[in-house]
Amino acid sequence: MPLQGPLYERVASAPPIPSGLPLVVTLTGFTDAGGAAGRMLAYFRDDLDPAPVVAFSADVLFDYRARRPLITFEADHLSGYRPQRLELALAHDSLGQPFVLLAGFEPDFAWEAFTETVVGLAEGLQVSSVTWVHAIPMPVPHTRPIGTTVSGTRRDLTEAHSVWKPHTQVPATIGHLLEYRFAQAGAEVAGFALLVPHYLGDTDYPAAAIAGLDSISVATGLVFDLDDLREENREYLEKVTEQVSGSDELTAMLHGLEERYDAYMAGSTQAQPIIHTGDLPSADELAAELERFLATRPPGDEDKHERR
């Protein structure tokens, strides 16, 4: 049993949070296919440097024996300990737009108390919307855009981007319970389940984090600079392509997944995957393509177009 004590404490040096901001939820834990939630959490903390406002108690909510924290051992001494963190913070996107961020570990204990607390804090801040993302493995090819199952109360998002609408029962995460309680409270809430290729589910797949962050952008209007992730994803996909092309078995599997995916998308749904920035060329690639195009034009062709 966890220790008894306060569920959270307010950070003394915390900045004030304006009312009416979107709330984004990123929690690591169950079924994080492709490492999507973990990479999103790292992006938020490392690139956006959010200012914590509320710190939740790991000693109350976290099972240390199930998910052990990391400690650093150097030759003959311990040099560092990385405690588990779960915080409500004020963050700003790449354009400086503010939003509320709930990020960290998924609680192991006191789900109902935690959920009631988060809903109450969000209501006090009068958040405009709630968006959360998680990732599950699916038999889909990495050569197609990552699709999503969208749930919640945002019918516009569900109709536009929920490419798979199952009727099933699944093991719940705290994100599901938060979405359920927010919906009961009448909030504008959307949950995105990323459909990550099952054969890449146990790897650190950058495209999964890109898809998650782009899903948040579609739901909130927030903008994130993902150039580093996109470059990492290109290098990752080169290695995947090399492995697939070197194996007849993997090649046949990929072709089969592509055929099933294309047939399903052509006949079973009107929704479309979000076009993630990982699927689009960068500004440098566009510039290089323009240079190649201009270099192949016949001499004097540019002058003809300018005279028209």
Judged by DSSP in three states, 172 sits in coil
Distance of alpha carbon 288 from alpha carbon 284, whole angstroms: 6
pLDDT tens string for the chain (308 positions)? 555 679 999 999 999 999 999 999 999 988 899 999 999 999 999 999 999 999 999 999 999 999 999 999 999 999 999 999 999 999 999 999 999 999 999 999 999 999 999 999 999 999 999 999 999 999 999 999 999 999 999 999 999 999 999 999 999 999 999 999 999 999 999 999 999 999 999 999 999 999 999 999 999 999 999 999 999 999 999 999 999 999 999 999 999 999 999 998 887 666 888 866 555 544 554 455 455 555 555 555 444 444 44
Number of residues written out for the chain: 308
Q: Please list, in sequence order, all residues whose beta carbon lies within 8 angstroms of the beta carbon of residue 177, skipping any fewer than 6 positions away.
A: 111, 112, 115
pTM over 0.85: yes
- Whether residue 85 contacts residue 104, with contact meaning beta carbons closer than 8 Å, is answered with yes
Give the pLDDT confidence score for residue 273 in this predicted structure.
Answer: 85
Whole-number Cα distances in Å, 207 to 58, 108, 203, 221: 30, 28, 11, 20
- Give residue 285's pLDDT: 47
pLDDT the model gives residue 173: 96
